[in-house]
Amino acid sequence: MLKILKYLFLMVAISCVGFVAKPPNTGGSLRRFTLVIDAGHGGKDPGARGKYASEKDIVLKLALQLASKVKKDSPNVKVILTRASDEFIELNERSEIANRKKADLFVSLHCNAVPKNSVVHGTETFAMGLHKSNENLEVAKRENAVILQEENYQQTYKGYNPKSPLAHIMLSNFQNAYLTNSLVLADKIEKQFKKSGRSSRGVKQAGFIVLWKAAMPAVLVEAGFLSNRTEEEYLDSDKGQDEITDSILNAIKAYREDIESNEDQ
């Protein structure tokens, strides 16, 4: 019990160091709306693997295509990529890029996988928060385990242990200032996926390090399961990538319209 109390105290202390919440940027007339697109994994970290495809390669293609579509559709939106090539970016740095650029939205792109299960399929979009099922926890643990490939990760993340369920619960307490808008965007993304004919597993919450210190609405999109052969082929196809990026693009547009409409009221 003493160890748990010490850990809780440590995580609360972390939340008070180097992180000051600011009101979400709404993209009004005073500044350009800034979108940061994060292609998960990369470099020495392949992410999830299918029979032949790697998560890091698919999400990079999705990120580049989404960035191109946003720039073409909305020239007034400033688009920033956390990576534009096959390179390893530490989880902490991904959200810091968005913070330094004072982004209005942070969208992290990923592919899912379930070990020894080729039946599970569909999309999921996560916001930072308390995982409400063991399944959500497992997704967060898999994505957060990337930090084990980083140098000095214990120092960078103040003793955070990705193998500890308690650590993921504590992470869920962050991002509260932006949770409402994060969930709004997540819902719009999943609705667009369903509109395009995808099977949506819904909007979920879990403790993801990549969303931890994002000082703006932020979501993590799991575009499909590489462990499912049919979805792997879809995710790796031109048709699939075009439909996925169209769905996310339309959701971002709808989100911006809602935000700007509320500003005018």
- 19 lies in a domain? no
pTM of structure: 0.77
- 42 lies in a domain? yes
Q: pLDDT (tens digit, 9 = 90+) per residue, 10-66?
A: 343 334 333 333 444 444 445 689 999 999 999 999 999 999 999 999 999 999 999
Residue 101: burial class (beta carbons within 10 Å; 0-12, 13-18, 19+):
middle
- 160 lies in a domain? yes
- 96 lies in a domain? yes
Domain extent, residue 143, equals 31-264
- 12 lies in a domain? no
β-pair type (78-81, 34-39): parallel
Q: Residue 150 belongs to a domain with what CATH number?
A: 3.40.630.40
Distances (CA, A) of 71 to 68, 133, 217, 248, 249: 5, 37, 20, 14, 10
Share of the chain above pLDDT 90, in %: 59
- 3 lies in a domain? no
Amino acid 13: pLDDT: 38
**Total of domains in the chain:** 1
Amino acid 15: pLDDT: 40
Least confident interval from 94-103, 147-156, 174-183: 147-156
Question: What's the N-to-C CA distance of the chain in angstroms?
Answer: 51
- 18 lies in a domain? no
- Give CA–CA dist 234/264, Å, rounded: 40
- Name the pLDDT band for 207 (thresholds 50, 70, 90): confident
Out of 22-26, 74-78, 136-140, give the one with best mean pLDDT.
Answer: 74-78
| Greater model confidence, 163 or 86 | 86
